Amino acid sequence: MSGVAEFVGREKALSNLHTLLQENQQVSIAAVAGMGGVGKTELAIQYALKHLPTYSGGVCWLRSRDEDVGFQVVQFARIEFGLTPPEDFDLSTSVRWCWSRWREGDVLVVLDDMVDYATVKPYLPQASRFKILITTRERLSLARLDLDVLSGEAALKLLTVIVGEQRIEREPETATQLCEWLGYLPLGLELVGRYLRRKPDLSLAEMLQRLEAKRLEQLSLKKPKSEEDMTAQRGVREAFELSWQELDEPAQQLGCLLSIFALAPIPWELVEQCLPESEAEELEEIRDYGLLNLHLLQRNGKDIYQLHQLIREFFKGKLEKLVEADQLKGRFCQVMVAEAKEIPLTPTQRDMAEATSTIYHLAEAAKTQKNWLNDEDLIIPFVGLGRFYGGQGAYAQAVKWYEQYCLEAEARLGNEHPDVAIGINNLAAFYSLQGKYEKAKSLCLQALDLSEKVLGNEHSYVATSINNLANIYDSQGRYEKAEHLYLQALNLKKKILGNEHPDVAHIISNLAGIYNSQGRYEKAEPLYLQALDLRKKLLGNEHPHVAIGLNNLAELYNSQGRYEKAEPLYLQALDLMKKILGNEHPHVATSMNNLAQLYNFQGKYEKAEPLYLQALDLMKKILGNEHPDVAYIISNLAQLYNSQCRYKKAEPLFAQALDLREKILGNEHPDVATSLSNLATFYQSQGKYEKAEPLFTQALNLSKKLLGSEHPDVATSINNLAVLYSLQGKYEKAEPLYLQVLDLRKKILGNEHPDVAVSISNLAGIYLSQGRYEKAEPLYLQALNLREKILGNEHPHVANSINNLAGIYLSQGKYEQAEPLYLQALDLRKKILGNEHLSVAESLNNLAVLYLSQGKYEKAEPLILQALDLRKKLLGNEHPDVATSINDLARLYKLQGKYEKAEPLYLQSLDLRKKILGNEHPSVANSINNLAGVYDLQGKYDKAEPLYLQALDLSKKILGNEHPDVAVSISNLAGVYKSQGRCEKAEPLYLQALDLIKKLLGNEHPSVAIIINNLAELYDFQGKYEKAETLYLQALDLMKKLLGNEHPYTKIVCQNLQHLRDNKAD
């Protein structure tokens, strides 16, 4: 009888077994086959118990291992049925005689643990009422049910039944680990469960520790005499020993070899490589008729095999007693070294897929079998593992293997060995990829010192170490140190290898890269050209490094705004990459991304988007979905959509890039800081400042932590925060940040760098917003001069500076100075960017605004329409810039008094902004204000007032109570009350607006003068001429001081004052 309290996990097997035994009318023979300890006998017992009523002729249980089956049949018939065969019958005849006189009804005959089917076959009954069930370790050519180990869930349930729920619930994770360690083998689970039941104070964790310490020798895996009620008669090792004894010597040796492999699927070709002297067919026979036949080895797929973990433990024990053990381990390591060498420096997904089946065995060679690696091969498995994980972007795992590489190399080869230096350099490279620059720098210095000590100062690898250290300083933005080291490495390489060597070209390219980062384009360009020519000469025109050189040169031209030179180089590099590497390679995807970036900068979104998507799909296909390069392209695509205001597409991509970078690179990496900034910029563009600020702050803090306070990325993060504060009208917060960025960029990049010019321009912009024209103008001129000096006269940034300078003259009413600059900026943009570019549309719009300010409506209208058409063509009908052009057109008609044309356009602009930007955005509040204004001018005060109130509430909600736009809204509301004669409501609002604008912008700002003038008009309207005159004079003095005598606003105040005096005279 069975000693099992509850039979679990075999319900389907019981059903299938019954079907096998009942499926034909002839005598039915079915075998339950499986490895030792899998529960074949228990299944037979449970089947017999469950179906006992079916077999009215009884159940005959026969033990076929080491006992004569025929004799057992005769004995069973004599004892159970009183049948005694004639004495002159031999055994076979006696067995047949017994079967023929067996009790009526169907009979179940169980042959348990059968070893040799041929010896028992003559004794089997022939009548159809007999159902024969065989349990065996062999793969018989009969109707067979192959029994596997339990599922994880069933194994845990079995352990719970034996040990009790309370103990399992106290340590659920350990219970699962225990089941995994036992490989879900029923015999192991029952033995360990009973052992735990005998020891109630033993925790599952302690049990697991004991098993890991003593493996198959642990007492719990041996069957004690006290457990006589168990179905199994042997412990785990003893059960496996029976199968071992049935193997011939070659099969035993093969089993021992397989135990050297990791506990993972084993490609058969690796096994063949370990036994080169064996013929393939002969080895297959040993495998199939030895190990597979006895269920000691499992087939997991085509030419893929695996050992059960406990059988592996058993074979490992046998291996240690084998004379050939060291030889087998050495061969295994040689094969793994050869496999490691096949993993390229930058593996593709195809490379990684091919290596995946080997990687666990490679790890086994590096960890467990390292003592059998030759000194010259010691590092190779570690390098292969590092490349495998590094190629997937799994930098933490790559670092782990390179750290292990360094430890093992030092232990085996000593501290002063070139391989140790190589390992340290590789480790440093991965720390750099993780953004851990200080760790990387320390290791690079260590590797350099070691290389110089071991190899001498004049060795090629010493130059390589210097170059690697320069790379770290480059990444940290410490360009002066990097430049010095690159030059040192270059001179050393030239001295050792000569002027014409690929390594020399590589360092020349690195040096050019640092000049490009510094904006020293005149130094970078000839070096990039030199590196490219040298690579062509040494490597031929068709080589990946030549394509990289083309890409680098194109990037330089892109930075300079020389798009007409950059594009053909990017295309050439892409074509060359495809030709050399095929269409599916990471470098091809990178080239597509670079070309897309160029088109994005040019505003050619219709060209950029399909390239980004193509690059993304290709990168995913090659490197998998979770790789830093995939995150990079996702981020670029998101920025494209953000530029197009396709926010529904952009937001999930920004979030996806951030999540992916955090998952791959960890929470503390420069790329994560970049993603945080990108997401913040996205929210900023939507006017969601409260969501943007904490993200910008988080990005800044992270950049400082990772890169130090003095790094270009830190400067960019501070600048981003300053821009946000500027948009919110928090000029007192923005100004010191802009100054800090400017000082930092000068310190890091030098006084003559494009980013320094950007900072100067940004600072000028905030002074312009504050009406501090005397500070803004010289800064705009300084930025313009600097850009012309660095970038040349024909660069988009130069056009931007000219445009900015024109803007300040427009604000001051200096139209004769503004117009030629706007025209110059327009012509320059057309020349550089082509007629169809967003910057060209901006210039057209700006020029139109200038003409509007001058009242030259006939000149303004065609420009506004032209800008509107161009924006629609480039951006589609639904974009904020299109809404802005519609708004400007409405403004033109309003100024012309064509209210019937202005009103529907203002409504159209408002609806469009709501649709694109949502109901709560500063631009929406602006549109509501504009619409209210046109109603105000028409005397439709009942329509204007609620809109002014709505705009005011919205501005406060988005921008806070203290913002210039809020002051303007308050003043506008006061104006409508004045127009209605509700002076008691208008006066406190004008005073509130005046106090607020002074607080925000200072006492001397054009907006302050405008509100003073508005308040004076109110008093003038009320007949409070003394008050009005005082305010008119105050506004006039301020206007003259800030804007000059000829500004339209100055003239308006003059007219108001004269009108007042005329009224007083009358």
pLDDT > 60? residue 507: yes
Domains and CATH numbers, the chain: 11-146 (3.40.50.300), 152-237 (1.10.8), 247-322 (1.10.10.10)
* Beta pairing class for 107-114 and 59-63: parallel
- Across 598-613, average pLDDT: 90
Closest CA to 725 of 706, 739, 745: 739
Q: What are phi and psi of 298, to 5 degrees?
A: -110, 140
| Spatial contact of 1051 and 1059, defined as CB atoms under 8 Å apart | no
Integer angstrom CA distances of residue 145 from 120, 298, 496, 624:
20, 15, 71, 39
pLDDT > 60? residue 2: no
Token pair, residue 715, equals 């400067």
Q: Is 107 left (phi over 0), alpha (psi -120 to 50) or beta?
A: beta
**Is 228 or 541 the better-scoring residue by pLDDT?**
541
Q: How far is CA 898 from the centre of its chain?
A: 55
pLDDT > 80? residue 6: no
pLDDT > 90? residue 895: no
Using DSSP's 3-state secondary structure scheme, residue 630 falls into helix
Using DSSP's 3-state secondary structure scheme, residue 842 falls into helix
Q: Please name the residue that has the structure tokens 């022939």.
A: 126
Closest CA to 599 of 610, 607, 591: 607
**Cα–Cα distance for residue pair 853/895, rounded to 1 Å:** 10
Strand partners, 29: 132
Least confident of 230-234, 399-403, 477-481, 824-828: 230-234
pLDDT digits (tens, 9 = 90+) for 932-990: 999 999 999 999 999 999 999 988 888 888 888 888 899 999 999 998 999 999 999 99
| Spatial contact of 596 and 608, defined as CB atoms under 8 Å apart | yes
For residue 560, name the pLDDT band (cuts at 50, 70, 90): confident
Least confident of 469-473, 583-587, 817-821, 970-974: 583-587
Q: Is 972 left (phi over 0), alpha (psi -120 to 50) or beta?
A: alpha
pLDDT of residue 227: 67
Q: 248: how many CB neighbours lie within 10 A of its CB?
A: 11
Q: Please name the residue that has the structure tokens 């830190």.
A: 714
| Amino acid at the residue 209 | Q
- Across 922-939, average pLDDT: 91
Burial (CB count <10 Å: 0-12, 13-18, 19+), residue 249: exposed
Cα angle vertex 658, ends 656, 663, to 5°?
A: 95
pLDDT digits (tens, 9 = 90+) for 128-151: 899 999 998 888 888 888 888 999
pLDDT of residue 931: 93
Burial 1030-1052 (b: 16+ CB within 10 A, else e): ebbebbbebbbebbeeebebbee
**Is 78 or 791 the better-scoring residue by pLDDT?**
78
* Beta pairing class for 130-136 and 107-114: parallel
pLDDT > 90? residue 391: no
Closest CA to 362 of 381, 342, 375, 386: 381
For residue 785, name the pLDDT band (cuts at 50, 70, 90): very high
pLDDT digits (tens, 9 = 90+) for 821-838: 999 999 999 988 889 888
pLDDT digits (tens, 9 = 90+) for 86-135: 989 999 999 999 999 999 999 999 999 888 888 899 999 988 899 999 99
pLDDT > 60? residue 1: no
Length of the chain: 1066
pLDDT of residue 701: 95
**Cα–Cα distance for residue pair 905/881, rounded to 1 Å:** 14
pLDDT of residue 743: 95
DSSP secondary structure code for residue 292 in this structure: I
Q: What is the DSSP string of 373-389?
A: S-GGGTTHHHHHHHHHH
Using DSSP's 3-state secondary structure scheme, residue 63 falls into strand
- Across 909-917, average pLDDT: 89
Q: 499: how many CB neighbours lie within 10 A of its CB?
A: 10
DSSP secondary structure code for residue 24 in this structure: -
Strand partners, 639: none
- Across 700-728, average pLDDT: 91
For residue 480, name the pLDDT band (cuts at 50, 70, 90): confident
- Across 619-623, average pLDDT: 86
pLDDT of residue 27: 62
Closest CA to 765 of 817, 712, 723: 723
Q: What is the pTM of this model?
A: 0.72
* Residues above pLDDT 70, as percent of the chain: 98
pLDDT digits (tens, 9 = 90+) for 17-28: 888 888 765 567
- Across 50-59, average pLDDT: 92
Mean pLDDT of the chain: 90
